[in-house]
A and B are shown apart, each in its own frame.
Chain A
């Protein structure tokens, strides 16, 4: 079978020249038509987001359809364990700032069927920014032949059905080694990403000042030696001194081989609570975001650097990312009856560590919701890697299908809590009056503004979507 890579340049219609091209064209049209029709039907019947079913059929009808749809446009792939959906949204927004329409898989359908649905749904030739499941990156690099790949981070996630992270890093490396033309924008703070990005000279490295979750990064992916981290996770910290490299905060190196954090092209600097993007060429621009949290600053940093490398003015990119306030419901403020809820998604220990950093300082009630369906990973043992101890003294509700697992974890963490498996009822219990019992006696009467405190809801994948779908 001739791979997509061996087809001669197209004639602009998406079909290769040569014998049988009419057949190829018909087949492609059938695949596109079927994908569109089935997805429309699926949406109309309310069976789903309408992004996957049709894509699957389309790929069966014409397995090479993705390669052909990708050929005549710029394609950027975004991959990693955490932050894919948000970074994809930020980058799509930054690219759209230059006036072109952008095709993207905004709903997070990040495997080939989802990519097909996105590409058939968008205008022909429009640039595509697609998030890719980390295990599919190699396949999609070969198939879609992207101009650029953006690599965020790798950490443990759904170990029952995906690969251990070192294996993923090796597969990334193999895929990128066999695609020398692809530009890479990648996170210099994560040793697994640096190894996976294959150390090519043209890579653009960014640093957000260090990893919050390091437990998957302490063993060297190149030699199985030990990674030494230069400092603890920084504040503004460590004087840079040299303008051509970022502050040493977040630096790391292998104690046995040459793998080390590469010099960054751009990084985050925070002084007096204000964060800026700094470039190795001496530029410095303020970074202001609607999206909360340090991890979103890191997502914005890499999106802005990628956008600039795709010829978007950095100032335009920074303005574009500033206005984004929610991503597919994540970070959104919604009302459920009388209760205001901030919706947050965290799927794995690294994500939870970041989010607990964000919500751990406040005193709002918090609902933690855990499912263990296929999309979540069926083994919730990772709950014991999450520092839930920081929630002690808060009004906490354990929720989700696996509320009992969470309840045991919280019990051993010394966090008093209630257990309410239904996510809707849990939000009501956390935000409503009448919090009695032996739990922390928080004041739940309306404040001076007449409003109840905002409930922070943090769910893993299907628990989050369970609540999101309740409206």
Chain B
């Protein structure tokens, strides 16, 4: 079942979806769904769901993590977490999510989505399979992913997009994570990135990820929410429908980890930079291709 064009455009353009009012007040517990851990669970990203649930619970909000294997219908949830996976399972996950339909309905209903790596790619309009052929994504994000010249592997440091006050994350919330992928992701013209890459490759054009409505996509593992509590609380705030800042938590251990990771120069800074240049060149080619084909 395919969504209407207007649905697709509304979602892909990053405009807030129609019924974005947060979870129903009556819901007993915040439901955090780990989408297909059997297909998209290769890189430890399942930890993102645990981080969200714990940070809700520590603030007195009941929360449940629902592991949703690919042989069962995807359950209703308030937050959906997608992680990294291998090529064949990634393609399978995309097909099954399209057929299942729940994720698309949830996004239209205002659910929050965190999509990492392979999970990020399949939310886009298309992505490259293991053999380089293009596969259709869910089209929930206006991004396209092609295969890069080589694999981008290493620590990533990125400054939040519009961290000077206009964006949802502040300049203090430098993003930290580890990437391991071969994709170059080209954003549509109206889509804002999650961050500007200082070290590493990310999307391949000097940015990492996207924020679109209530969907965050990124290449960062770590897991990303374990290393970046401000991003975790941003998603949690959306899911809880809270207008102000969430109550602060004791993040001493997380802050120590962040200080360490952000202080360490990337072990392969030079080669990553070189690689990054290759990625940027390929990204330029990909985007020329897009304008040439009028898409």
Contact = CB atoms under 8 A, between A and B. Distances in A.
Lowest 3 CB-CB distances: which A-B pairs, in order? Answer: A384-B47, A381-B44, A218-B38
Which of A165, A226, A378, A384 gathers most chain B CB within 10 Å? A384
B232 to A, nearest CB: 11
Interface stretch (A91-99, A135-143, A201-209, A403-411): A403-411
Nearest to B43: A381
Contacts of A385: 41, 44, 46-47
Contacts of A405: 257
A219 B178 contact: no
Contacts of A378: 153-155, 178, 267
Interface stretch (A156-164, A292-300, A308-316, A332-340): A156-164
Given A378-B267, A381-B45, A219 B180 contact: no
Contact of B257 (A160, A161, A164, A404): A404
Interface of B: 37-39, 41-47, 50-51, 54, 69-71, 86-89, 91-92, 153-155, 178, 180, 221-223, 226-227, 253-254, 256-257, 260, 267
B43 to A, nearest CB: 6
Per DSSP, are chain B's interface residues mostly helix, strand or loop, or mixed? mixed
Given A224-B92, A404-B260, A166 B46 contact: no
B257 A219 contact: no
A166 B86 CA distance: 8
Interface residues of A, number: 30
B221 A224 contact: no
B43 A215 contact: no
Interface of A: 156, 159-161, 164-167, 215-216, 218-219, 224, 226, 255, 378-379, 381-385, 404-405, 407-409, 411-412, 419
Given A224-B92, A385-B47, A404-B260, 15 more contacts: A166-B86, A218-B69, A219-B89, A379-B221, A379-B222, A381-B222, A383-B44, A383-B47, A384-B46, A384-B223, A385-B41, A404-B253, A404-B257, A409-B47, A412-B226
B261 to A, nearest CB: 8
A383 B222 CA distance: 9
Contacts of A166: 86, 88
Nearest to B257: A404
Which of A216, A219, A419 gathers most chain B CB within 10 Å? A219
Given A160-B180, A378-B154, A408 B46 contact: no
Given A384-B47, A404-B260, A407-B256, A219 B39 contact: yes
Given A224-B89, A381-B223, A159 B253 contact: no
Nearest to B58: A412
A33 to B, nearest CB: 36
